Chains A and B, each alone.
Chain A
């Protein structure tokens, strides 16, 4: 899967944007929810409409919908998405991650945290958080 995506990005001219978006969803849909034994797609946290890619500008926008308004794991889900995309995309792509409008009680604060790369970098150096993210990303319990 990883190779497929990378090759599709490298040879992006032969893929339409819609296909690229779909591929991207394939890429992140199986991330496991930190609190549930289900994938983000199964929980409707992510759908095919969640992701838009602007190839020309090299930008990706992901909006996800936390399962509940007060979901304390929203930032962890966001971190998972960021790490997963970083692992799979050319490094110069700019990634913005947001909760979908109205889906979280602290929408503004969650969005701000997820897009502050210094806080993201610090979070990913925190062993407990890193372990949680890795479990979500690489769990085989699905």
Chain B
């Protein structure tokens, strides 16, 4: 679709009920929803459970296939599928990260990662599925190596943030880890060649960075741009020199590209960049916004414009917005109102 012309409309496909507390986060299964495999995603909640949702191929209706419960004893804050879709990792306020595998149609907890002192807030797999990162209130970021036989070995504990770490996210192509925090910064971590992980860059206020908690970050498809969202009510876009990176430079630093402000009037909790280049944001103002790169003003470098917006997408705060893996413009949102909504972003002709 041409993202520069025409009007876009966000159409509600279905509202999914089942969680009995706020829904914090959701994750689409990467290997489903393409070709003939029906799309699947996982959601997690303050009700201490994880739910697996699947679209029925004939009725197109979404149903809860399974409830993963009685493993986490407190809020399940986030979840992430391994790139192969075989494993699901769930991070909980109970200080553990659980690893689930679909064995003969049922999800079983095959491993529990312990180490964080208290609440684990986020979990992320690297592109090959060989590494896992977790972060939490204890200000640390842990890197886990995936060993044979469903063993997970701690490879490194990264200290550097001065407050709780809200999210970790691996770069989509190289093994460089990004984290964002209540300390208002984004940190970039890489291995130094001797197996030691170090912070190689901090994007803070002095780099045109955020002035309050950074809640989430997301990469574009090429991996040369990064978008972050914050309690300071802005969305920021950062870029790196991908050519320098590909030509084997040791590290191409990230720089602030632009700031989108004035679009949300309460904390922006979630941001996700689609493969087609559309940035979706979800916020505590109950609204969803969409942004794309603008063709205008290319002289001064790329700029971004509002593509579409949806007020009152939910009755309460929106905690997570996630694009589906297919090319059908499907988006899921999770809210404090306990529901998940499936949306389709369509172009009006």
Q: Which A residues fall within an 8 A CB radius of B?
A: 91-92, 94, 112, 116-119, 121-122, 125
Contacts known (A118-B121, A122-B93); A91 close to B316, Cβ less than 8 A = yes
Q: Which residues of chain B (239-266) have a CB below 8 Å from chain A?
A: 266
The 4 nearest A-B residue pairs measured at CB: A122-B119, A125-B74, A92-B315, A122-B93
Q: How far apart sit A116 and B182, CA to CA, in the bound complex (Å)?
A: 9
Q: How far apart sit A125 and B74, CA to CA, in the bound complex (Å)?
A: 7
What B residues does A119 contact at CB under 8 A? 137, 164, 182
Interface status of B54 (Cβ within 8 A of chain A): no
Inter-subunit contact B212/A112 (CB<8 Å): yes
The secondary-structure label for the interface of chain A is: helix
Q: Please tell me the size bucket of the interface on B.
A: 20 to 34
Contact of A125 among B75, B121, B315 (CB under 8 A): B75
Interface status of B225 (Cβ within 8 A of chain A): no
Q: Smallest distance from the beta carbon of B33 to chain A beta carbons, Å?
A: 29
What A residues does B164 contact at CB under 8 A? 119
Interface status of B139 (Cβ within 8 A of chain A): no
Q: Nearest CB to that of A59 among chain B residues?
A: B266
Give 15 A-B contacts (CB < 8 Å), ordered by A residue. Answer: A91-B315, A91-B336, A92-B286, A92-B315, A92-B316, A94-B266, A94-B284, A112-B212, A112-B213, A116-B231, A118-B121, A119-B182, A121-B22, A122-B118, A122-B119
What B residues does A91 contact at CB under 8 A? 315-316, 336-337
Inter-subunit contact B317/A125 (CB<8 Å): no
Q: How far apart sit A92 and B75, CA to CA, in the bound complex (Å)?
A: 21
Contacts known (A122-B137, A125-B75); A116 close to B213, Cβ less than 8 A = yes
B176-200: contact bitstring with A at CB < 8 Å (1 yes, 0 no)? 0000001000000000000000000
Inter-subunit contact B93/A125 (CB<8 Å): yes
Q: How far apart sit A25 and B77, CA to CA, in the bound complex (Å)?
A: 34
Q: Nearest CB to that of B338 among chain A residues?
A: A91
Q: Smallest distance from the beta carbon of B158 to chain A beta carbons, Å?
A: 20
Q: How far apart sit A116 and B46, CA to CA, in the bound complex (Å)?
A: 15
What B residues does A117 contact at CB under 8 A? 284, 317
Q: Smallest distance from the beta carbon of A116 to chain B beta carbons, Å?
A: 7
Inter-subunit contact A118/B337 (CB<8 Å): no
What A residues does B116 contact at CB under 8 A? none
Q: How far apart sit A91 and B336, CA to CA, in the bound complex (Å)?
A: 9
Contact of A118 among B166, B315, B316 (CB under 8 A): B166
Q: How far apart sit A91 and B316, CA to CA, in the bound complex (Å)?
A: 7
Inter-subunit contact A122/B213 (CB<8 Å): no
Q: How far apart sit A36 and B74, CA to CA, in the bound complex (Å)?
A: 31
